[in-house]
């Protein structure tokens, strides 16, 4: 399970809080957020009911349906301390406490033949459609950067679909394109 986040605001700067925050006044682009604030934190088991619609929204965006069995297994893995898989969420809160999850990020630590330390694969990133353009995606990515640094990683990497032009505007500002093209082949397990 991922640990609590060092503070990261919408600009990706540390703010010294125990959790990452996106300013209540708006994001780096000046989009107003009213009286709400957004905190980036590790997902908790109690978040499943709010995580699920975000996970399903992510799948719908990529036109896939992974089904309940894979979803249940993924959720369990995200909360198993023996697994290298982690989940952080963006939680919008107002003055009344309690909040609504408005974004998620899943990331996985793994070995590499090219590096001494672990690499970090940012596998899934999703912000609720009504919250896009407010710094949520950037804050979630910055959370992963901070967790990767804590784990001794020297690289965070991810893939996106070539048609995901809006997200690539952000990615081009906070990371570099590797120049590699992904190939894959579905394999039928033996036995």
The answer on pLDDT for 100 being more than 60 is yes
Q: How many CB atoms lie within 10 A of CB 8?
A: 26
> 88: which 2 tokens?
């952080």
* Percent of the chain as helix, strand, coil, to the nearest 5: 30, 25, 50
CA 90 to chain centroid: 8
In this prediction, residue 29 carries a pLDDT of 38
Predicted confidence at residue 36, as pLDDT, reads 75
| pLDDT of res. 106 | 98
CATH architecture of structural domain 20-174: 3-Layer(aba) Sandwich (3.40)
Rounded to whole angstroms, what are the CA distances from 4 to 33, 42, 89, 130, 143? 24, 6, 11, 26, 9
**pLDDT score of 13:** 35
Question: Which of 125, 180, 115 has the alpha carbon at shortest distance from 153?
Answer: 115
Global pTM exceeds 0.75: yes
Give me the pLDDT at residue 37, please. Answer: 92
Arithmetic mean of pLDDT, 76-101: 92
Three-state secondary-structure class, residue 138: helix
Of the two residues 8 and 71, the one the predictor is more confident about is: 71
Q: What residues contact residue 135 under an 8 Å CB cut-off, 6+ apart?
A: 9, 10, 11, 22, 23, 27, 28, 29, 31, 38
Res. 18: pLDDT tops 70 = no
pLDDT at residue number 35: 62
């Amino acid at each position: 399970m991922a640990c609590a986040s060092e503070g990261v605001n919408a600009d990706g700067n540390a703010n010294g809080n125990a959790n990452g925050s996106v300013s209540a006044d708006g994001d780096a682009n000046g989009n107003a957020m009213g009286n709400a604030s957004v905190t980036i934190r590790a997902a908790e088991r109690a978040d499943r009911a709010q995580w699920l619609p975000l996970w399903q929204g992510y799948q719908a965006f990529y036109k896939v349906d992974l089904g309940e069995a894979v979803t249940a297994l993924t959720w369990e893995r995200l909360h198993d301390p023996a697994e290298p898989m982690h989940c952080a969420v963006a939680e919008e809160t107002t003055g009344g406490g309690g909040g609504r999850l408005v974004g998620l990020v899943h990331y996985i630590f793994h070995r590499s033949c090219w590096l001494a330390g672990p690499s970090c694969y940012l596998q899934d990133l999703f912000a609720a459609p009504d919250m896009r353009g407010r710094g949520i995606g950037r804050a979630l990515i910055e959370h992963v950067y901070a967790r990767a640094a804590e784990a001794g990683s020297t690289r965070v990497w991810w893939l996106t679909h070539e048609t995901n032009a809006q997200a690539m505007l952000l990615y081009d500002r906070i990371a570099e394109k590797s120049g590699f093209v992904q190939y894959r082949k579905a394999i039928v397990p033996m036995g």
